[in-house]
Amino acid sequence: MRGGGVRHFVGGSSAAILVALGVASTVQGTVAAQGGVQDTRAQAAHCTPAGAGQDSFCIVSGLKLNYIDWGGAGPAVVLLAGLGSSAHTFDDFAPLLRQGHRVLAFTRRGYGASGTPTDGDYSNRALVSDALGLMDALDITRASFVGHSIAGGELATLGAAHPDRVDRLVYIDAAYDRTRVAQLMAGVPTLPPPSAGVRRDLDSLTRWREAALGVHLPSVRHDLAQIMVHTRDGWVPRTSEAISAVVLAGDIAAVARWEKIAAPSLALFTSKDVTDQVPPDASPAQRAAFLDYSIRVIRPWMLRAQADFIEHSHCGVAVEVPHSTHHLFLERPQWTAQVILEFLAAADPCHLRVQ
């Protein structure tokens, strides 16, 4: 073990397998490759939140970004969602972090109520620039970042290239090298997408999504209402698969170099041994095939990612949560928030012991 990395355990369709691979999705998912790093501060006019927990908007480098500021007093915590999700995915979780912190989240360019860049730039560099530009506009000099799924690429770049803007980093099933995603997907069992009947109204789609997630939370519907749009074919993703492919590509290209990140980092890994986000209408055989593939192929990949994080982090704590799902902050919101708050407050975060 190098540099203070700690590991311990705590007693937890292609879209579904992307979840098992640590790539959040709603009802779509694609794979490609691209990225970059930018070491400049974005310029933006001053922005003011509309109100605690309300949709707010800010123009950053000419692009409209949708963000939510849940308020709270103290150092800033910025939440970054997984692929395809909006800031509203944190509607139930974010308020749990307000103890001693100002909590915010924003929706990536090209998704939900955020704008679409005219130059088509969805690189990791552009996404990181958006985060820094929004911080500048809100007069936030430094923040701790909590990233879910593919937000791990943004966190890795922030930590390595912008250490002056980062206090601490928390990866929620996000501390992965995804360069093998295409290869891992090659053997994915087929799972059913939402049917036309499910997609015909938002209530039906919400129930389908909640059943797949194994939760019943208002944030599921709030998020779907942002990232989906109603058409004559029912509710479909607002963002094209081509754009999601480029966003995922940027994450793949932003391979984390843990040894280059000085900020204390907490990596929560989910176990990859449950039927995570398998659709409710999947057959028993499909469920069994998915679970078998996850245990045989995805779990070993996750364990290697843990080992890499532990070995190379200067100040990193890795926690594997038994029998847990990719959306840990939805599945176990209270526990996840408690662990994050303990980490953010710890005098010696490099050796935090999670119970």
Q: Looking at residue 180, what is its pLDDT?
A: 87
Residue 18 has pLDDT above 70, yes or no: no
Q: What are phi and psi of 140, to 5 degrees?
A: -105, 110
Sequence-distant (6+) residues with CB within 8 A of 79 are: 87, 90, 93, 94, 103, 104, 105, 145, 146, 147, 148
- Predicted confidence (pLDDT) at residue 340 exceeds the cutoff of 90: yes
Helix (H, G, I), strand (E, B) or coil at 271: coil
Q: What confidence category does residue 188 fall into, taking pLDDT thresholds of 50, 70 and 90? A: confident
Quote the CA–CA distance of 272 and 304 in Å, as a whole number.
Answer: 13
Task: Give the long-range contacts of residues 293-300, CB within 8 A, separation 24 or more.
Answer: 293/17, 293/187, 293/188, 293/189, 294/17, 294/20, 297/184, 297/187, 298/17, 298/20, 298/21, 298/184, 298/272, 299/271, 299/272, 299/273
User: Of the candidates 129, 124, 281, which has an alpha carbon nearest to the alpha carbon of residue 211?
Assistant: 281
Average pLDDT for residues 210-216, to the nearest whole number? 96
Q: What was the pLDDT predicted at 186?
A: 82
CA distance 14 to 314: 35
Per-residue pLDDT at 3 = 39
Q: How far is CA 21 from the centre of its chain?
A: 12
Q: Per-residue pLDDT tens for 275-315?
A: 999 999 999 999 999 999 999 999 999 999 999 999 999 99
- pLDDT for 134 beyond 50: yes
Structural domains of the chain in order of their starting residue, each with its CATH number: 6-351 (3.40.50.1820)
Residues in the chain: 355
Rg, the chain, Cα only = 19
41-73 per-position pLDDT tens digit: 445 579 999 999 999 999 999 999 999 999 999
Q: Specify the pLDDT at position 4.
A: 46
Residue-averaged pLDDT of the chain:
89
pLDDT the model gives residue 242: 92
At CA 263, angle to CA 258 and CA 264, rounded to 5? Answer: 90
State the pLDDT at residue 337: 98
pLDDT for 261 equals 97
Q: What is the pLDDT of residue 282?
A: 96
Residue 16, pLDDT > 70, answer no
How much is the pLDDT for 139? 96
Model pLDDT, residue 354: 86
SS3 214: coil
CA distance linking residue 73 with residue 148, whole number of Å: 23
Which of 52, 47, 24, 61 lies closest to 227, judged by CA? 24
Cα 28 versus chain centre, distance: 15
Q: Are strands 234-237 and 265-270 parallel, antiparallel or unpaired?
A: unpaired
Residue 11 confidence (pLDDT) = 37
pLDDT digits (tens, 9 = 90+) for 248-266: 888 888 889 999 999 999 9
Beta strand segments in the chain, E: 6-9, 55-60, 63-71, 76-80, 102-106, 143-148, 166-172, 228-231, 234-237, 265-270, 316-321
Is the pLDDT at 22 greater than 80? The verdict is no
- Nearest CA-CA partner of 326 in 299, 296, 289: 299
pLDDT for res 249: 87
Q: Indicate if the pLDDT at residue 29 is higher than 60.
A: no
